[in-house]
Amino acid sequence: MSTLSYIGLVIGSILLLYGLRAFFMPSAHAAFMDRFPRHRGLAVLLTLINVAWITWLLFETPLGRFEGLKPLLYVLAPLTFYAVIQFMDELLAPRMFGGFLLLAAAPVLDIARWHDSTARLAITVLVYVWVVWGIILVLSPYRFRHSVAWFRRKRLASLAAIGAMFLGGVLVTLALTVY
């Protein structure tokens, strides 16, 4: 199995599980989606992941004449983490989820770029949708609540859950057969 197969399996499985939960447990799913924007624990976890990932990227990136500043990251990363969770706590979870989507896009696109099948475009298009959604969440995290309220309608919620299950099934099938 190629790396793109593993990525397709992971993304497809997440979408399948999300769709199944949203379809078969709509009230629990809606309650979680309502709590998510102000969920302190998930906000802290996502902030930790994002700050660690960005710090790792900065350590790995050649910075030219700023290379000597890399040791400061040992101090700046924990300070940044603390400052973000302390002073940016308003709708922090969707904002950090958007940041995670933006960070996750680059490695997935890099892996999909070298695959020779045109089926790689399924993941590529999905990742570009992530990027747009991530930018929206970082800049306007209140849009998360608006989208949850919009999908709260019974028929739309069911259609979205079925769509997530369908897309997850397509990605898992592609991962097992094509990638």
Radius of gyration of the chain measured on its C-alpha atoms: 18
DSSP letters spanning the chain: --HHHHHHHHHHHHHHHHHHHHHH-HHHHHHHHHHGGG-HHHHHHHHHHHHHHHHHHHHHS--GGGGGGGGGHHHHHHHHHHHHHHH--TTHHHHHHHHHHHHHHHHHHHHHHT--STTHHHHHHHHHHHHHHHHHHHH-THHHHHHHHHHTSHHHHHHHHHHHHHHHHHHHHHHHHT-
CA–centroid distance for 53 within its chain: 13
Q: What is the pLDDT along the chain (179 residues), one digit of tens a residue?
A: 788 899 999 999 999 999 999 999 988 988 999 999 999 999 999 999 999 999 999 999 998 899 989 999 999 999 999 999 999 888 999 999 999 999 999 999 999 998 888 888 999 999 999 999 999 999 999 999 888 888 877 678 889 999 999 999 999 999 999 88
* pLDDT for the residue 72: 92
* pLDDT for the residue 154: 67
Q: How far apart are CA 153 and CA 104, in angstroms?
A: 30
The domain ranges of the chain are: 3-177
Ramachandran sector of residue 91 (left: φ over 0; alpha: ψ -120 to 50; beta: rest): left
* pLDDT for the residue 96: 97
* pLDDT for the residue 155: 79
